[in-house]
Amino acid sequence: MYFKAFEVSIGTPMPSDAEKFTPMMQQYFAVKGGLPRDTLLLFRLGDFYEMFFEDAVVASRLLGLTLTKRQEAPMAGIPYHAADTYVSKILAAGKKVAICDQQEAARPGKLVRRELTRILTPGTTLAANQLDAQRNHYLAALALDRQGLHAAWLDLSTGEFRVATDAHIENLLPVLTALAPRELLVGEGELARWQAAPHDQIAVHALHQFCTARLCTELPAFHFDTATGARTVMDALGVLNLQGFGLASDHPALGSAGAVVYYATENLCAKPENLRSLQEYRSARTLLLDPATLRNLEIFQSIRGGRDGSLLGAIDRTVTAAGARLLERWLAAPTLELAEIRRRQATVEELLAQPPRLAALRAALTEVRDIPRILGRLQNRLRNPRELGGVKDTLAQLPALRAELAAFATGSQLATLSAQLQELPPLRDLLTRALADELPADLNDGNFIRGGHDAELDRLRGLTTGNKTWLSDLERTEQERTGIKSLKVRFNSVFGYYIEVTKANLHLVPADYIRKQTTVNGERYITEGLKQKEKEIFHAEENALGREKELFAQLVAAVLDESLALARTAAALAELDVLSGWAVLAREWDYCRPELDESDVLEIAEGRHPVVEQMLKSERNGLAGMQSFVPNDALLASDDAQILLITGPNMAGKSTYIRQVALIALLAQIGCWVPAKRCRVGLVDRIFSRVGASDDLARGNSTFMVEMNETANILNNTTDRSLIILDEIGRGTSTYDGLSIAWAVVEHLHRGETRGPRTLFATHYQELTQLEQHLPRLRNFSVAVKEWNDDIVFLRRVVPGAADRSYGIQVARLAGLPIGVIDRAKTILAKLESDDTTVELPAPQAKPKKKLTVKPADDTQMNLL
Ligand code: ADP
Ligand code: MG
């Protein structure tokens, strides 16, 4: 149990004065008292889950329920069968939900035994409707000590479990941000400690910010103990040591891993049964994209917040949920291992070479269900017939999938993937034989086992049908026996089956009818025979359902027996989904296979921006005058053209260009093909991207400080292998300040004797172009425009050399500034550009006579403040 001091909240009585309540309410307090704060307790009462006191008030507001009273206690209830929907809403509001269920059938005059069966939190929920199918759902724990940051993250819905330790927070925070955990765990008091860190410990403050921006739960510090954690983790994984996973038993992140397992166990009210392995994440093996870069390059979300307009949105062609989640993971941690990158690329190439096969594979994949999550639920006691249907449907696709894959040459990547798919014919046949075509979501609805699968079930069902036939015959036989033509046999939930006779015929009722109820129109009767049959029917139905549940348990056991094979198969299917999706993408948008090596070159011929290109195309049909995307080259090398300084008027395409270079490098490193004619990428270890303050719309306040903080982070963490994208750095302050900072930043990046990080720097500071004469590895480029009758035409082409002018006035005109303002600006500009710096001012106008003053606040306003 989670023993945290009982939190007394407004309206909830202390356990001490709980005696004055009924035994049932005392039962309620006993459960409620053990729960962590911010947890709404759903207490099962018959067909409802009830909430009391403050929980009821909160829930009624959140869910729009009517508040009632019971023994003076505020109360609100939801029907048990609709609980899922309500729980989703509560979780979405960032609260936790505890479920307390009845453990036995209610008997009059006796207190029903109730137990806490589950705590649902955003990071530990498993129900399909509470999970985003396309996203991973991590619960993460973090601990910080002198050795560094120790993290563990678990997706309970799939069993994916990882640990990581890094001496530098900056190396771990990027991947954590990219994985976007739903819930965080930290030791008690840690948040306050991190917040109070000295101002110059930027990374600790970033960590604090990361935590407070998410649902973060504090646990007593001893749950983060390494030795305890190691034991907890080994117990959950069912192993005697962690050597099999390449982990020492004193790995410093095991404390965090233990906290994660502890918390998951608490919330499941049982040990998680789907943890099979624990992998170590090493930041040295992945390309790091820090949080600001993820945002600026719009990797997972566009600046507006949606998936549309993001890189992920543009390259996602997956058709399965598990595939979509794998793509997210690959994008969150692009690899630095050439062999792995080449393996993915080669698979895409093999698929592209066989268009009809590719189409057939994609078609079969659309029928594949979410096996990792189905297993997660089955293993953790969340079981219903539809989950088994998902396994059956997936297994049914495997023969076709393997047949298509078998056609690829032996030794090919696809042959290897094919070998990982296990068809499991006995399980497939069992499920096909046993499961009905239509499957209910609730076990108690019955009828999910196909007739003919089990003789005993068929016999029990036969009894019910036999009796039901007797019943339907009864109406006719009784009509004949009594001579009452309008006699009816009916059923309701209060009496069960009964015979109805209208008033006019009451004199014909035989003596063996037993009267049960008088209605406006007549009388209702039962007979001994009818009651006997009714009993048999109910009994048979109950027995049939009981038998079905037994069979269900056998089927679940058969599936779980193969869980390892199923999980492996699902992993291979997810890969196949992502990679075949990339093949489709490459064909659709004419991508090329980039060459990757250990060099420090970045060479792109006719590159395009993967997102803007698709956006322009989709808008072109609607918007007149939209041009298609203009491709551009790029050539960087850390010992040669190390820094490209891009100038050009506003709207020319500078930001688009420098981002497209970064996105192409990133795509290359996840193994995807890239939007270019030709491309060579020397492995990149980090991508940094920063945008000058006034472009950083999403953040708004104090942006200059943020910009400088982030720039500091780059300058401190970059290596010669990094790729840096700086967009209008320095714009957030006055011209001279900004220019000086930009200037110094460029010099700093160029400080190495022979080499430095590959950098693209877009700027409107014309003055910076002089640097080319002093810094040998800096090259000027500009985005070309054409002047035509005092108008400018954007050519979108990046050409060597600095832009000669900034064309601000022409751009302003395109933007629709009044013609008078444009003319005046031109006059001023001409003056400023000639040596004559005196600008002719218009004759002063008469000042307005009446003075405007600010009215002093009156008393009422003062009071309000
Ligand atoms: P800048 O940073 O120079 O002000 P942007 O990169 O923001 O300019 O580009 C302005 C607009 O021009 C973009 O929104 C995009 O629609 C268009 N654009 C940019 N580059 C290209 C290109 N290569 N081909 C076609 N349109 C482009
Ligand atoms: Mg720009």
CA 39 vs CA 56, 79, 90, 99, 125: distances in Å = 12, 19, 10, 10, 14
* Bridge partner list, 48: 45, 79
> Which pLDDT value is given to residue 824?
82
Ligand 1 close to Cβ of residue 717 (< 6 A): no
Q: Where are the alpha helices (H) located in 562-649, listed in sequence order?
A: 563-589, 610-620
Specify the 3-state DSSP secondary structure of 694: helix
Q: Which residue's C-alpha comes closest to atom 17 of ligand 1?
A: 653
Say how many Å lie between the CA of residue 290 and the centre of ligand 1: 25
Work out which ligand 1 atom sits closest to the CA atom of 650.
4
Say how many Å lie between the CA of residue 657 and the centre of ligand 2: 9
Among 133, 179, 188, residue whose Cα is nearest residue 154: 179
Integer Cα distance of 490 and 668 in angstroms: 71
Ligand 1 close to Cβ of residue 594 (< 6 A): no
Fill in the amino acid letter for 833: E
* pLDDT tens digit sequence for 657-689: 999 999 999 999 999 999 999 999 999 999 999
Integer Cα distance of 550 and 564 in angstroms: 23
Specify the 3-state DSSP secondary structure of 779: strand
> Which pLDDT value is given to residue 837?
58
Q: Of all helices (H) and strands (E), which one includes residue 394? A: helix 385-406
Say how many Å lie between the CA of residue 811 and the centre of ligand 2: 13
> Which pLDDT value is given to residue 10?
39
CA dihedral 97, 98, 104, 105 (to 10 degrees): -30
Check if the beta carbon of residue 274 is closer than 8 Å to that of residue 244. Answer: no
Mutate to test the pocket of ligand 1, among 604, 656, 664, 798 (most ligand atoms within 8 A of CB): 656
* Bridge partner list, 139: 154, 183
Check if the beta carbon of residue 246 is closer than 8 Å to that of residue 285. Answer: no
Ligand 2 ion: residues within 5 Å (CB): 655
Ligand 1 close to Cβ of residue 807 (< 6 A): no
* pLDDT tens digit sequence for 205-231: 999 999 999 999 999 999 999 999 999
> Which pLDDT value is given to residue 865?
35
Nearest bound ligand to CA 656?
1
Integer Cα distance of 710 and 167 in angstroms: 20
> Which pLDDT value is given to residue 862?
41
SS3 labels along 28-86: HHHHHHCCCCCEEEEEEECCEEEEEHHHHHHHHHHHCCCCEEECCEEEEEEEHHHHHHH
Say how many Å lie between the CA of residue 692 and the centre of ligand 2: 9
pTM of the model: 0.84
Phi-psi region of 309 (alpha: psi -120 to 50; beta: other; left: phi over 0): left
Nearest bound ligand to CA 614?
1
Ligand 1 close to Cβ of residue 656 (< 6 A): yes
> Which pLDDT value is given to residue 267?
93
* Bridge partner list, 522: 502
Integer Cα distance of 326 and 321 in angstroms: 9
- Side-chain-side CA neighbours of 238 within 13 Å: the count stands at 7
Ligand 1 close to Cβ of residue 612 (< 6 A): yes
**Which residue reads 């020397």 in tokens?**
682
SS3 labels along 260-299: HHHHHHHHHCCCCCCCCCCEECCHHHECEECHHHHHHCCC
- Side-chain-side CA neighbours of 585 within 13 Å: the count stands at 30
* Segments of the chain scoring below 70 in pLDDT: 1-19, 620-626, 693-706, 732-734, 806, 835-865
CA dihedral 219, 220, 226, 231 (to 10 degrees): -80
Check if the beta carbon of residue 111 is closer than 8 Å to that of residue 27. Answer: yes
Ligand 1 close to Cβ of residue 629 (< 6 A): yes
Fill in the amino acid letter for 162: R
The per-residue DSSP string of 789-836 comes to TTEEEEEEEEEES--S---HHHHHHHTT--HHHHHHHHHHHHHHHSS-
Ligand 1 close to Cβ of residue 757 (< 6 A): no
Ligand 1 close to Cβ of residue 690 (< 6 A): no
CA 493 vs CA 381, 490, 497: distances in Å = 31, 10, 9
Integer Cα distance of 570 and 567 in angstroms: 5
Among 587, 583, 585, 576, residue whose Cα is nearest residue 404: 576
Ligand 1 close to Cβ of residue 651 (< 6 A): yes
Ligand 1 close to Cβ of residue 661 (< 6 A): no
Backbone angles phi, psi at 660, to 5 degrees: -65, -35
Ligand 1 close to Cβ of residue 650 (< 6 A): yes
Beta carbons within 10 angstroms of residue 782's beta carbon = 21
Nearest bound ligand to CA 649?
1
**Which residue reads 């009517």 in tokens?**
66
Beta carbons within 10 angstroms of residue 237's beta carbon = 19
Nearest bound ligand to CA 650?
1
Ligand 1 close to Cβ of residue 785 (< 6 A): no
Say how many Å lie between the CA of residue 681 and the centre of ligand 2: 25
Integer Cα distance of 113 and 23 in angstroms: 11
Sequence-separated (6 or more) residues with CB below 8 Å from residue 521 = 502, 503
Q: In what order do the strands lie in the sheet with 488-492?
A: 488-492, 496-502, 522-526, 514-518
Ligand 1 close to Cβ of residue 400 (< 6 A): no
Q: Where are the alpha helices (H) located in 701-790, listed in sequence order?
A: 703-717, 735-749
Say how many Å lie between the CA of residue 308 and the centre of ligand 1: 18
Specify the 3-state DSSP secondary structure of 688: strand
Mutate to test the pocket of ligand 1, among 604, 606, 612 (most ligand atoms within 8 A of CB): 612
Integer Cα distance of 686 and 665 in angstroms: 10
Beta carbons within 10 angstroms of residue 759's beta carbon = 27
